[in-house]
Amino acid sequence: MSTEDLRIVWIYPDLLSTYGDRGNMLILAARARARGIPVETIEIRSDQALPDSADLYLLGGGEDGPQALAAQRLNADGGLHRAVARGSVVFAVCAGYQLLGTSFFAKGAAYPGLSLLDLQSDRGPARAVGELHGVIDPRLGLPPLSGFENHGGRTHLGPGVSPLAQVTTGIGNDGTSEGAWRGNLIGTYSHGPALSRNPALADLLLRWATGAGYLPPLDDTWTDRLRHERQVAVAP
Amino acid sequence: MPLRAKVASSVSRTAAALSRAAGRGDGSVIGGWIGLKIDPELLKHLAAGRSVALISGTNGKTTTTKLTVAALESAGRVATNAFGANMPTGHTSALAKAGATPYAVLEVDEHYLARVLDETRPRAVALLNLSRDQLDRAKEVAMMAQMWREALAHHPDVHVVANADDPMVTWAAYHCASVTWFSAGQRWHDDSWVCPECGGAIERAGGDWRCTTCPLRRPRPQWVVEEDGVVDPTGAWHQVKLSLPGTVNIGNAATALAVAAQFGVRPADAVLRLGSVTSVAGRYAQVERDGRLIRLLLAKNPASWLEAFDMAEAAPTLLSINARDPDGLDTSWLFDVDFAPLYGRRVLITGDRAYDLAVRLQVNGIPFEHVTSFADALAAVPPGRLEVIANYTAFQDIRAELDRVN
C-alpha cells in the first residue's frame, strides 16, 4: 500500500449492498486507472474498524434492518466522521444517503442518522420505483442526472445542504428536488450503480478526491448512447 | 368432489383448451383463473386425495420440478405444472387437466408458498434457495425468508426438504418438526452475510457457515452432492447422469431424489430416470441453425448468471438483456455479476438494454461486439457452437425466433 494511491473505501458491503452497489467502486477505480492514477479499493465489513484516512468513501443501499444496524455501528465507530472532518469525499446512494442525515425511518421507527448532512427522512405515501432524471445544481457543472430509484422514503432538506438536482422524471426527495450535497459530500436516490449512467459525476468525485483540477477525457461512447436511450425512453 | 368443484374443473379445462386453440399460449393461466372464479376452493378440491410435493425458491424451481416428476413417475402418474405457470391459477389448471393422479409435483412461485401450502396440504415441500431477483417488484430477501418461516409454522405436519447451504432457507426451516437437509453448494453468497435471526455477521469457511453471534449454523446435510453424484442418507453414492449441463443441476437432482425418497422412491431407482429430462421449457435446448449449434441458457438474476457461466463452454457467446415487466425494469443487477469468466471468449451483445450491458462489460474489461438482432449474431459467428445467455423476455424472444416449442 502506497500513500500516493487513491484510496476508495466501500463501507459495509455486508449490510449496504442491495442492487449493484459494487458498481460505483468498480467504475471509480476503472476511471482513475484509465488516467494512470493508482487505486486501492478497500471493503470494510461492519465488524471491522473504519479507516479514517482514505480519500473517498462509498455508501450503498440496504434493507431496513441492515440500514439501522449500519447507522448504529458507524456512529459508534466514528471513523467516517473523522474522515469527513479531514475533507474526505463521500458518495452515498439510497439507504446510505438517508444515513447521512439526522434521522431516518426503518422498521416503523425513527433512527438517529450520522448527522453529516442537514436532512431527515421519513416514509412516503407510496414506494418510488422507476427512472429518476433531473437537472443538477449548476454550481457542480454537470450534465443531467440519469438513474433509477427504488425507495419508500421521502427526504426533507435543511438550510445546511443544497439539492443535488431538480427532478424532471421520478420522485427523488419529494417529487421536486433530488439528493443533496454539501462540501465534498453527495447523496442521491439514484440507486445501485448510479455512476454507470453519470460518468461526469464519477469524474467530479475523482477530482475532489485527488485534488486534480483536470482529468483527461475518456471514451464514453457507450455511456453516451445509454444516457441518450434512457432520455428518449422517459421523454413525454 | 362437490358438484360446484366438478363444474369449475370442467370449465377450467375447456377454457384452457379454447385459449390454446386461439393461439393464446398454453391456456394454463386463464383456465385456472376461470375455474377459481366459479369455485374459490377448486385448488383445494383438486389437490385432495393426491400426495403432493411443492418446489419453491428463487432459482432452479422449474428444473427441479421436472426432475422430481421424472423420479416420482417410477411410483405412479404425476400431475405437474410443466409450463412454469407457478401461481395458484397455474396449479389449478394443471391439476384439472391431469385428471385423477396419485401424485402431484408443483412448482410454486416463492411469494405464493403460504397460500399453496394451505390449499394443497402437501406431503413434502422443497426449499431451494433465496436470493435477490427483481427488487423493483419482488419482496426483499429477508422478508421472503420471514414469510416462509411463518407459513411453515402453520403446517407442522409437512415434511420440509431444505438447502443447508443457504442461511436464509435454513433459518426459514430451522424450527420445522420434520426436515431433510441437502447440500448442493452455492456460488452466490451476497444475500446472506447478515444473520436473519440476530443481525450478526455470517462467517463462511469452505462449504460451512455459521453466525458469529447466535447459535444459527449450517445443519448437517443428509443428501450431499459429491463430484458427479449424490450421497444419500445411508452414505451410498449414486452417479447422476443428466442431459442438462452444470454443477447446479446435480444439486437440483439431489433435491429431486430427496423429495422422491419422502414418497418411498429409492434413490437407486429414481436416479436412472433423471437423464430423461433433456430441456426445461426450452432452457438448455440445443438447436442447429445454418451450421451453428446454438444452446440457450436462461439467466434471470445474479445467482443464475454465475451458474450459466459455469454451464457455458468456451465458445462464442451471445448475451441478451431486456428490462420489460417480467424481467424487472431495473438493470442495476448487471453490476452484481462478475463477467470475468467470459474473458478470452468472443462476446456479442444484444437486447433492449444492450447499452447497459455494454457499459458494464467495459468496466469489467471484457471486449464485446454489439449486434441489433439475433439473426445478425448468427451471421457474425463462424459455424460451430454458439452459447446464448439471456434473461427472461430476451430468452423468450430468441426462442420464438428459433421457432421452438419446448
Q: Provide the chain B residues 204-243 that lie in CB contact (below 8 A) with chain A.
A: 212
Residue A3: which of A55, A57, A50, A44 has the closest Cα?
A55
Residue in the block written with cell 483527461: A216
Dihedral pair phi/psi, residue B102, rounded to 5°: -70, -30
CA–CA separation, B87 and B89 (whole Å): 6
Q: Is the pLDDT of residue B319 over 90?
A: yes
**What is the distance in angstroms between the Cα of A160 and the nearest Cα belonging to chain B?**
31
Is the Cα dihedral A117, A118, A122, A128 positive or negative?
negative
Convert B241-261 into a string of H (helix), E (strand) and C (coil).
Answer: CCCCCCHHHHHHHHHHHHHHH
**Which residues of chain B does CATH 3.40.1190.10 include?**
40-276
pLDDT score at B405 = 40
Give the residue range(s) of CATH 3.90.190.20 domains in chain B: 286-401
In a domain, A208, yes or no: yes
From CA B236, how far away is CA B224, in angstroms rounded?
A: 10
Residue A23 lies in a domain: yes
pLDDT confidence band for B278 (50 / 70 / 90): confident
Alpha-carbon distance of A194 to A186, in angstroms, equals 12
- Kindly identify which residue of chain A lies nearest to residue B141, measuring between CA atoms: A63
Q: Do B359 and A18 touch (CB under 8 A)?
A: no
Residue entry with cell 451453428: B292
| Rounded-to-integer distance, Cα A58 and Cα A13, Å | 10
List CB contacts (< 8 A) between A20 and chain B.
Answer: 332-336
Determine the 3-state secondary structure of B336 from DSSP: helix
- pLDDT < 70 stretches in chain A: 1-3
Model confidence band, residue B136 (pLDDT cutoffs 50, 70, 90): low
Q: Is B39 helix (H, G, I), strand (E, B) or coil?
A: coil
Total structural domains within chain A: 1
Q: Is the dihedral of CA B92, B98, B102, B108 positive or negative?
A: negative
* Cα–Cα distance measured from residue B283 to residue B299, given in angstroms and rounded to the nearest whole number: 10
Q: Determine the pLDDT at residue B23.
A: 59
Helices A221-234 and B354-364, packing angle to 10 deg: 150
- Cα–Cα distance for residue pair A40/A4, rounded to 1 Å: 10
Q: What is the pLDDT of residue B406?
A: 38
Three-state SS at B327: helix
SS3 state of residue B236: coil
- Cell 467516517 locates to A80
Which DSSP state fits B178? S
B286-401: which CATH topology? Answer: Protein-Tyrosine Phosphatase; Chain A (3.90.190)
- Specify burial of residue A73 (Cβ count, 10 A radius: 0-12, 13-18, 19+): middle
Query: What digits encode the pLDDT tens for the residues B68-82?
Result: 999 999 999 999 997
Give the right CATH number for B40-276 from 3.40.50.300, 3.20.20.70, 3.40.1190.10, 3.40.1350.10. Answer: 3.40.1190.10
To the query of whether residue A94 is one of the catalytic residues in this protein, the response is: yes
Cα distance from A75 to chain B (closest Cα, Å)?
17
pLDDT tens per residue across span B193-234: 888 898 888 889 888 999 999 999 999 999 999 999 999 999
Contact A46 B135 (CB under 8 A): no
Counts of helices then strands in chain B (DSSP H, E): 14, 17
Q: Show the beta-strand stretches assigned E in chain A.
A: 6-11, 39-44, 56-59, 89-93, 103-106, 109-112, 119-136, 145-157, 165-169, 177-178, 180-182, 185-188
A96-110 tens-digit pLDDT: 999 999 999 988 899
Summarised one tens digit per residue, pLDDT across range B71-114 is 999 999 999 997 778 999 999 999 988 989 999 999 999 999 99
Are A223 and B359 inside 8 Å of each other by CB? yes
Q: Quote the pLDDT of residue A2.
A: 46
Q: What is the pLDDT of residues B163-197, one digit of tens each?
A: 999 999 999 999 999 999 999 887 778 778 888 89
Report yes or no: B293 at the A interface, CB cutoff 8 Å.
no
With H, G, I as helix, E, B as strand and everything else as coil, classify residue B158.
coil
Nearest by CB: B355 against A18, A130, A226: A226
**A27, A45, A193: residue with CB nearest B332:** A193
Q: Can you tell me the mean pLDDT for B342-359?
A: 97
Tell me whether residue A127 is annotated as binding: yes
B330 vs A contacts (CB less than 8 Å): 19, 148, 150, 192
Cα(A29)–Cα(A6) distance, integer angstroms:
9
pLDDT of residue B18: 65
CATH code, domain with A163: 3.40.50.880
Pick from B2, B27, B103: nearest CA to B95: B103
Least confident among A6-15, B283-292, B373-382: B283-292
pLDDT for B22 equals 62
Structural domain boundaries, residue A220: 6-234
CA distance B255 to B6: 34
Question: What confidence tier does B247 reach under pLDDT thresholds 50, 70, 90?
Answer: confident
Indicate the pLDDT class of residue B25, thresholds 50, 70 and 90.
low
Is A1 domain-assigned?
no
Which residues touch B234 (CB under 8 Å, ≥6 apart)?
none
Buried/exposed code over A29-40 (b: 16+ C-beta within 10 A; e: otherwise): bbbbeeeebebe
Flag whether A117 is in a domain.
Answer: yes
**Separation of alpha carbons B365 and B211, rounded Å:** 36
B135 close to A (CB below 8 A): yes
Torsion sign over Cα A214, A148, B300, B136: positive
Give A-chain residues touching B360 at CB under 8 angstroms.
Answer: 23, 196
Give the dihedral of Cα atoms A77, A82, A87, A90; nearest 10 deg. 10
Radius of gyration of chain A (CA): 17
Query: For B315-332, what is the mean pLDDT?
Result: 94
Asked whether residue A44 is domain-assigned, the answer is: yes
Is the distance from CB of B250 to CB of B228 less than 8 angstroms? yes
